[in-house]
């Protein structure tokens, strides 16, 4: 993993896709818990946090909640010397531009913009969408490719076109495809390639990836930070050992739809209320029981609620 050619070398390492802690009845955001979560990330040494992403249940936030959460997270994160990236995606280009400008005005360090979902634009539509966002404000843009949720894939050719824009600095690749990641790293060397899946951090890193937008780092920020550092230093034997240690937890984050498993795990560690907001629901008992031995094996049992 080399950073020499990157347009903006700040976008490397571990960025935690932070959860949004709701009150027990999920009617409000618990900002005291949010502050605790962000401090936990800072103590773990992560590069930054991503707020209002999928893990943060952003589709369930009202416009007022979104704006307050962004402003509070930036204030708290910057006080902890963390970069703060804001999820600004929308399947309406005008709305995405509005959110992007708001994030810039609020003092964000970057904007994570997901491909438009449901309406499934063409590649030309995707290019025009992201170009409009990048033109809208003086704020670095991270492209977010996750066809499993959006129904459309951001192709290499479109990424190459977008990579020419000075404001587009990175791509979060959540395809699980080493072929796609390898091609982006090879043909778009100015863009920071970030894994969108914890379990693909090492495979992508071996192909030129420079970091991860992580769900697992909500639980183990220090370990995920160590993993991205080892990869950046070319210590692949050590990276593989740590990757194998963390992989069961990475896979566990897919037991149910994200962020259900990570919130359940945080609740087991007495670190979050675990509340979900509809249409997301709490983890099933079967998921919780599958999570327990994984957390135990990682040595977290002493913090695990309800274990001996």
Per-residue pLDDT band at 185 (split at 50, 70, 90) = very high
What is the structure's pLDDT at 308?
Answer: 38
Region for residue 103 given its phi and psi (left: phi exceeds 0; alpha: psi -120 to 50; beta: otherwise): alpha
Confidence of residue 307 (pLDDT cuts 50, 70, 90): very low
Per-residue confidence (pLDDT) for residue 304, from 0 to 100: 55
Q: What is the pLDDT of residue 39?
A: 97
Query: At residue 275, does pLDDT exceed 60?
Result: yes
**Cα distance between residue 101 and residue 89, in whole Å:** 12
Q: Please determine, for residue 303, whether its predicted confidence score (pLDDT) is greater than 70.
A: no
Residue 269 scores a pLDDT above 50: yes
Tokens of 169: 């600095």
pLDDT above 90: percentage of residues in the chain: 93
Q: Which pLDDT score, from 0 to 100, does residue 241 have?
A: 98
Residues 6+ positions from 132 with CB-CB distance below 8 Å: 93, 96, 97
Using DSSP, state whether 169 is helix, strand or coil: strand
Selected catalytic residue, list 5, 66, 120, 144: 144
Give burial (CB, 10 Å; 0-12/13-18/19+) of 118.
exposed
- Averaged over 10-29, what is the pLDDT? 96
263 is catalytic: no
Residue 234 confidence class, pLDDT cut points 50, 70, 90: very high
- The class level of CATH for 13-233 reads alpha beta
Q: What is the structure's pLDDT at 306?
A: 53
Per-residue confidence (pLDDT) for residue 274, from 0 to 100 = 75
Strand partners, 143: 113, 171
Catalytically annotated residue among 172, 290, 297, 302: 172
**Is 120 marked active-site?**
no
Average pLDDT, the chain: 95
Q: CB count, 10 Å around CB of 190?
A: 14
Report the pLDDT value the prediction gives residue 300, as an integer from 0 to 100.
86
| Beta strands per DSSP E along 92-167 | 110-114, 141-145
Q: pLDDT at residue 60 above 60?
A: yes
């Amino acid at each position: 993993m080399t950073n020499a050619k990157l347009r903006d070398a700040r976008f490397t390492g571990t960025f935690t896709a932070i959860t949004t802690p709701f009150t027990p009845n999920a009617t409000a955001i618990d900002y005291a818990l949010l502050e605790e979560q962000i401090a936990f990330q800072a103590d773990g040494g992560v590069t930054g946090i991503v707020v209002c992403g999928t893990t943060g249940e952003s589709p369930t936030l009202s416009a007022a909640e979104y704006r307050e959460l962004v402003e509070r997270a930036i204030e708290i994160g910057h006080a902890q010397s963390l970069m703060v990236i804001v999820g600004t995606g929308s399947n309406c280009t005008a709305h995405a531009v509005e959110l992007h400008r708001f994030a810039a005005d609020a003092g964000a360090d970057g904007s994570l913009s997901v491909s438009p979902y449901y309406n499934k634009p063409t590649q030309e539509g995707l290019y025009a969408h992201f170009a409009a966002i990048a033109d809208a404000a003086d704020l670095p843009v991270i492209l977010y490719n996750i066809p499993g949720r959006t129904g459309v894939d951001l192709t290499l050719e479109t990424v190459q076109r977008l990579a020419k824009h000075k404001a587009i600095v990175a791509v979060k690749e959540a395809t699980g495809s080493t072929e796609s990641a390898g091609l982006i790293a090879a043909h778009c060397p100015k863009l920071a390639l970030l894994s969108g899946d914890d379990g693909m951090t090492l495979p992508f890193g071996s192909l030129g990836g420079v970091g991860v937008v992580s769900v697992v780092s909500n639980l183990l920020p220090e370990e995920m930070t160590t993993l991205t550092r080892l990869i950046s230093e070319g210590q692949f034997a050590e990276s593989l050992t740590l990757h194998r240690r963390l992989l069961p937890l990475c896979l566990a984050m897919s037991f149910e739809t994200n962020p259900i498993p990570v919130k359940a795990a945080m609740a087991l560690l007495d670190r979050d209320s675990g509340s979900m907001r509809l249409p997301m629901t709490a983890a099933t008992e079967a998921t919780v029981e599958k999570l327990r031995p994984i957390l135990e094996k990682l040595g977290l049992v002493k913090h695990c609620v309800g274990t001996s």
